[in-house]
Structure 1
Amino acid sequence: MILPFSAYVDESMVLARSVYLMAAVLVAPHQADHYRAELRGLLLHRQLRLHWHDENDKRRTQLIEAVAGLQPTGIIILGTGLDPKRQERARRKCMECLLWELGDHHVVDVLFERRDSLLDGRDRKLIVALQGRHAMPPRLRLSWSDPVLEPLLWLPDIIAGAKVLAERGDPRFWSQLEAGMLVREQEIQ
């Protein structure tokens, strides 16, 4: 019997390359507490969470080495053709593709990084529409959380950040993670 996974999701963009990226890291229930402890152990004094954007190059190297040691698996939806004025459309397209993909990977729970009530509400409306069209697996349970409260949301943030740098021409961080990640391109115009 295959145990169900939980997926932890975050996104990023590369406006210069017209790319919207949504990353999901799959975590088995028996791995979750170990991963959380490892990630909390990387926090600096007074740091509430890990966030790729806030880290310098030396620190990013440390984070990538630690995350690579966890041997994460996951899915990245690389939305191409991003119109910077239509970022929410890009998010919806990537989310739809990701949710379908997660259904093929024994995922039951999907946790997105919380944005704000208006934007999270848009996500929820999309979910209702997808469910109505049978365009997502019915067993998926979706929720949104604050990354300060759930360290497992730091994983897709770090992985998305590494992939964004690779898209900009700097693959050194991504090269340590890509073996466990399935990347799917999705036209989002």
Structure 2
Amino acid sequence: MSDRVATLRSMSATGSGVLHAWVDESVHSGPGVQRPSYLLAATMTASETCPSVREALRGLLLPSARRLHWRDESDRRQIEIATAIAAQDLLHTVVIGIPVDSRRQERARRLCMERLLIELAGLGVQRIWLETRTESLNAKDLAMVAAVRGKRLLPGDTFVDFARPLDEPMLWVPDAVAGAVGAKRKGRNPTPRDLLGASVEEITIELT
């Protein structure tokens, strides 16, 4: 048994035993980025852990903010957010697809999503929440999920649905994790990623 599987099992041992994952994306490109990347991050924990995580994150909101959004935060605030996340009983997996073509971003998402779903299945995650997009893009994601199920790489009883970050603070976490990983890869403000330490597993796949 891997250390990550053992850690997740211990997280759920005292409760319902149901492991959840929340998934968000991030694209890192632009000046100074040699190989643009598509990041798909998942944050995992047991359902019993979520109320305390939500409370901690809501406590970081600025007076006028309705949610935490990594790209809108200052370097100091990003360090504060990463510190709060690192203090929680959470694990994270980030699939990094490189190089990403801005004209083929949905292809990058499909390839990263397939790998991420396989990883989550291997870790025993039973409920997966994706950040909602448009109706048509959500349909593409569900088609991807069905394709992975068709290959028998995702159990048929794994629940997959969508959530809105304005309603679900747990989605603020993978947004921050992807942002921290991407920032360090670009050589900018590496401290948040360092604070998250071994709780984050990074998996790089080639998109070419």
Same fold (TM over 0.5): yes
Taking the aligned partners of 2:80 and 2:195, their CA distance within structure 1 comes to 12
Q: 1:99-120: per-residue Cα shift (whole Å, max 9, x none)?
A: 0000111200000111111211
Give structure 1 stretches of 5+ with no counterpart: none
Aligned length: 189
1:174 to 172, 193, 199: 193
- Pair 1:49-2:63 in alignment: no
Match of 1:141 among 150, 159, 179: 159
Higher relative contact order (CA 8 A, sep 6+): 1
Whether the aligned pair in 2 keeps the contact of 1:71 and 1:180 (CA below 8 Å) is no
**TM-score, normalization by structure 2:** 0.86
Q: Is the 8 A contact 1:96 1:136 kept in 2?
A: no
- In the TM superposition, what are the counterparts of 1:1-189 in structure 2 within 5 Å? 3-15=17-29, 16=33, 17-170=35-188, 171-189=190-208
Identity of aligned pairs, percent?
35
Residues 16-62 of structure 1: per-residue CA shift (max 9 Å, x gap): 32211111010112201111111111111121100001111221121
Which amino acid letter does the alignment assign opposite residue 181 of structure 1?
A: V
> CA shift at 1:14, angstroms?
1.4
Distance 2:89 2:207 in 1: 30
Normalising by the residue count of structure 1, what TM-score does the alignment of the two structures yield? 0.94
Question: Runs of 4 or more off by more than 3 Å in structure 1?
Answer: none
CA contact (8 A) 1:113 1:146 kept: yes
Q: Name the SS of the counterpart of 2:42 in structure 1.
A: strand
Contact 2:121–2:155 (Cα < 8 Å) also in 1: yes
CA distance in 1, matches of 2:141, 2:147: 10
| Contact 2:21–2:128, Cα closer than 8 Å, also in 1 | yes
After TM superposition, the structure 1 stretch with the greater mean CA deviation from structure 2, 65-74 or 87-96, is 65-74
Determine the C-alpha separation between the residues in 1 that align with 2:45 and 2:107. Answer: 28
| Residue aligned with 2:191, SS | coil
Q: Match of 2:202, SS?
A: strand
Deviates more, 1:131-140 or 1:50-59: 131-140
The gaps in structure 2 that reach 5 residues or longer are: 1-8
